[in-house]
Amino acid sequence: MDLNPSQHNRLPALAGPAVFVISFFVYLLTASPTVYLGDSGEFIAAAFCLGNPHNSGYPLYALAGKMFSLIPIGNVAFRLNLMSAFFGAMTVWLTCRIIMKTTPSFVAAFSAALLLAFSSTLWMQTSCAEVYTFHAFFVALIITILFWWHETRSLDRLLLFSFVVGLSFGNHMQTVMLAPAVLAFIIWSDRKVLFNVRNFLLLGFFFALGLSVYLYLPIRTHAGAAIHWGEPDTLQRFIQHVGASEHRHRYVLTKSWGTYGMRFLDVIREMYLQYNLLWVFAVIGWIKQKGLKEKAFWIFILAFDAIYTIFLNLVPLKITPFQIPSYIAGAILIGGGLSHTLKYRFTSPAMGRIWARCIKPAFLFLPVIPLSMNLYKCDQHRNYTAYEYAANIFRSIPAKATLLVGGDNILFPAAYLRLVENARQDVALYDRHHLFFKLPFLHRGGHGFSGKWKELESLVETQLVKTRENTYMAVFDEKTILPRQFDLIPVGLVFRAVPAENIEEALQQQKPSWPYYMITSFNTSFYRDFMNRSVTGYFFLKMGKELVLAGKKSLGTGPIRKASAIAYDDQVLHRDIAT
């Protein structure tokens, strides 16, 4: 059986659509049905109301997300999850096209592209509303256009390339880490094209044209968008928000070399887990690259992606997938390695027939390996954890109460429910960190305050407790509410905050919340990542602690043990159990 595309002209044309349909179908089956934990709720709410999420603002994601939110399928959260699945499948299709352009093998392109599709990190990102599959799409598109330009070295193609690069920054700033590889490749191919003044100005103009999507931020802030993180409607705040100056100084080269060494090992481990021993084919593919220019291009992508992951951002890899550009590069190189392997010719006619008719076609089924290995991990179609936890918080409080929320995995799902699904409009909702739902008493032009944020936060919260009849606080760990001048009464997943002199009266008024909670996701078996393990663990920990405080120690130890078993790697939760 000969699957050489030179003899079957239809196969190259079918490869891209085939991998798109297969991957998109699998992604749809395994996508989360609603809002996910992490930044998902924030991104969905920001897209729905055309607001500004956290720095750097992600204006292109918000605009694209708004269009997907209008698709009349399922709930709004699922529509944004659908967007992640779509751009994940588009990434797989573009990766297949790149391989087909550089190798003559349909089998190699088809298999390598689907190896990327079912790699654990990319697949997991297609299940929820996040920026990373959109970023992966732009990485693959940038490489596609760059290689397309290389065929003719025409200026018009390079101008298109420059525009797409600028536009990609509107989704994720990590695109900048492609710059060394891209610039080296262009200069190596045709150094005159960049050093011509006219060309340089034109390229700069088209780059700025794509980058102009960031004008969305001050426009939507000035329009009063429900989410306007950083309020970037002045030049200073705009620069601070887009440049992430608020936290960048805490990330860049601030840790010990031991910490960076451990992070380097995490990077190597995560890379290996994507393709396991199939990385051997990537090495073969790199060795068989046409020249030094191509070899340097792929090395630069891998190296600078690792530099960004290790030194420029310290968010744990178990939470945020920074290395997707490396996985795309790996898949393309694996495609090249598979192509060269499939060209092998045996001297024995009998072995040649076995190789051509049996072994070579079997390479088409290589993606079945990661599909079967990662299916349980990436199948999130039963995951309602974020939605149910946030909904249960709203079910815990009476009508016309005041609710202060803290922590991303509480705030962002609550923002989704409030801004997208109009949940509990009777409740006065405030964000303890003054990001979305602004705290009262803190207005521009008001009286100044000299001190730390925690002190000001405590003053505002104390004033709320004193002036509002029913004030509740939703946090995972009550020890984060310090210093405080009021008492906290556990009420299901929240705490009622009351002045010390009213504690007895408040305890008499307390009603149980647990019978009214949604618990399907917490009692369903599916793979939980770190965030889902943590939130589920706190659900059972709060249940157990409330039973223990009510004098039902024998009943409370069961949920606490369950919390420890589920959130086995959450050190903060286990500290809370111990104390």
Tokens, residue 285: 């593919």
Buried b / exposed e along 487-499 (16+ C-beta atoms within 10 A): bbbbbbbbbbbbe
In a 3-state reduction of DSSP, which class is residue 100? helix
Listed range (160-174, 211-225, 477-491, 551-565) with the worst mean pLDDT: 477-491
In a 3-state reduction of DSSP, which class is residue 488? strand
**Cα distance between the two ends of the chain:** 67
In tens, the pLDDT along 294-352 reads 999 999 999 999 998 888 877 777 778 889 999 999 999 999 999 998 887 777 777 77
Q: What is the pLDDT of residue 214?
A: 95
In a 3-state reduction of DSSP, which class is residue 120? helix
Q: What is the pLDDT of residue 448?
A: 62
Distance CA 541, CA 320 (A): 25
pLDDT exceeds cutoff 80 at 444:
no
Residue with tokens 């898949």: 331
| Distance (Å) of CA 462 to CA 404, 427, 438, 473 | 12, 18, 16, 12
Nearest to 83 by CA among 27, 45, 29: 27
Run of H or E including 495: strand 494-498
In tens, the pLDDT along 405-424 reads 999 999 999 999 999 999 99
pLDDT band for 249, please (50, 70, 90 cuts): low
Threshold 0.75, pTM exceeds: yes
In tens, the pLDDT along 38-49 reads 999 999 999 999
Q: What is the pLDDT of residue 436?
A: 84
Number of H helices, E strands in the chain: 28, 5
In a 3-state reduction of DSSP, which class is residue 498? strand
Q: What is the pLDDT of residue 9?
A: 60
- Give the distance, in angstroms, between the CA of residue 495 and the centroid of all CA atoms in the same chain: 30
